Structure 1
Amino acid sequence: MAAREAVRAARREAERPRWRRLLAWPTVFVRSLWHSLWWFARELGEALGELLMTLFALGFVAAVGLLVSAAWQTAPLPTAVLVAGAVAFLVYGGVEFFRERRRGRLTMVAVCAFGFVALWVALPLLPFWPYWLF
């Protein structure tokens, strides 16, 4: 079936006048160049977007750490309540991580937050874990 279509396309191309075939290659070249540039721009934009999100996340973590430190010195009880709420959110993410069905964006954010914190906490402990577990 595909071979027949290829033969039909070749015959249609051969039936076209020579001047139309000669004028077709610049448009094909420009079109393929445009698609290549568009793909490159999308990939570059995606990489820059990921870099900006990473920088934003690290800045956010640093700012929250400084605010929690300053808040603890000023008012320890409300700070403890705030930190307890964040820990509850992370526990919710951990519970949802081990479930089969996940629903909603908030759940995915909680699961990602749990995964990030779990890896961040486990990283210093990795040299002490037995290697046969991996």
Structure 2
Amino acid sequence: MPPAASTGPLHGVKVIEFAGLAPAPFAGLILADFGATVIRIDRHSRTLRAPPVTPDILCRNKRSLAVDIKTADGIDIVRRLIRDADVLIDSFRPGVLEKAGLGPEVWLGDAEGKGGENTKLVFARLPG
């Protein structure tokens, strides 16, 4: 049985997970089961009248937020979440988060020595 969200060896660790295929949600599930706070960023659809509900077992012990990262407001929401996170799980193809202005160079810094916005962030790329 997984531990409650307020217990476990990873209690206090904040994880942002972009919804995707099995490797990323599975990694987030393991972190959540060990007590990390995992916020799953789901795709927002303008055509849906109700928020997306997923019966996926890989969502266990996670919070979910539907955000359109193709809008300025959506990017702002995600930036605020990542700024305070310890781990980011990127499930997209290489280049997708860079195109949205959310790539590793923004958070960790670049090769020229320019510091990032969250240098303690563990940026995990797990494309399906």
Shorter-chain TM range is under 0.3
Which of the pair is proportionally richer in helix?
Answer: 1
TM-score in terms of structure 2 length? 0.19
TM-score in terms of structure 1 length? 0.19
Q: Which has the higher contact order (CA 8 A, sep 6+)?
A: 2
